[in-house]
Amino acid sequence: MIEAPALCIADANILIDLHHGGVLALLARLPYRCLIPDLVRAELASPPSERIDELGFEIAELSGASVLELFALRPAHAGLAVADLAALLVARDRRGILLTGDGALRRLAEQRAQAVHGVLWVLDEMVRHGLLAPEGACTALEAVLAGGARLPERACAKMRERWANR
C-alpha cells in the first residue's frame, strides 16, 4: 500500500518567512502536499499570490460550516487575522499539519490538539530531505530573522548546532 504524503497547511507568515529566507520554492518540493487557504492567498503581498500559484501550491477553501465557525471564533481570538483562523480550520478539517510562525496561532492550535510546526521545522525538513545543505539552512534562518521573524533564540541556537553537526 502506498502511503499518501503528509498534508501541510501554511499560514501567511510562514510563507513570508520562507520567502525572506529565499527558500519558499523548496517548500513546494518537500514530500508533503502543501495547501494554502484561499483567504491566506488573498492577503499575500510579499510573496505575491502569483508566486504561490507559480510554485504549484494547492489552494483550499473552507466549507460553509467552517466559515460559520470562523466567524464564531473571531471575537474570542481578535488578535488573530481571519486568514490565520482559516488556516487553523483547514488544517483541522483536512487532518493536516498547520505551518505557522504566529505564536498566538500556534498556542491556539496546541490547545486544540492540532499538529503545528514552524519555520525551524520546515528548514530542518528541507535539510533532512536533501533540498537544502545545513549551511544553506543557517543562511536561510539568518535571512528569515533579518526579515523580521521573531523566533526563540534558544531554539535557533539549538537548530544551528544541529545543522553544524550534520
Phi first, then psi: what are they for 96, rounded to 5°?
Answer: -110, 180
- Whether pLDDT at 22 is above 60: yes
pLDDT for residue 29: 94
Give the mean pLDDT of 115-131: 97
Report percent pLDDT > 90 for the chain.
85
Residue ranges per structural domain of the chain? 6-164
Q: Which three cell numbers stand for residue 118?
A: 514552524
What average pLDDT does the segment 91-107 reach? 95
**What's the confidence (pLDDT) of residue 1?**
53
In the beta sheet, which residues pair with residue 117? 99
Name the percent of the chain lying above pLDDT 70: 97
DSSP 45: T
Residue type, 111: Q
- pLDDT digits over 29-63, tens only? 999 999 999 999 998 887 878 888 899 899 999 99
C-alpha cell at 123: 528548514
Model pLDDT, residue 47: 82
Q: Rounded distance, CA 65 to CA 141, Å?
A: 38
Per CATH, is 6-164 categorized as 3.40.50.1010? yes
CA-closest candidate to residue 12, choices 39, 35, 40: 40
Taking 80 as the threshold, does the pLDDT of residue 3 lie above it? no
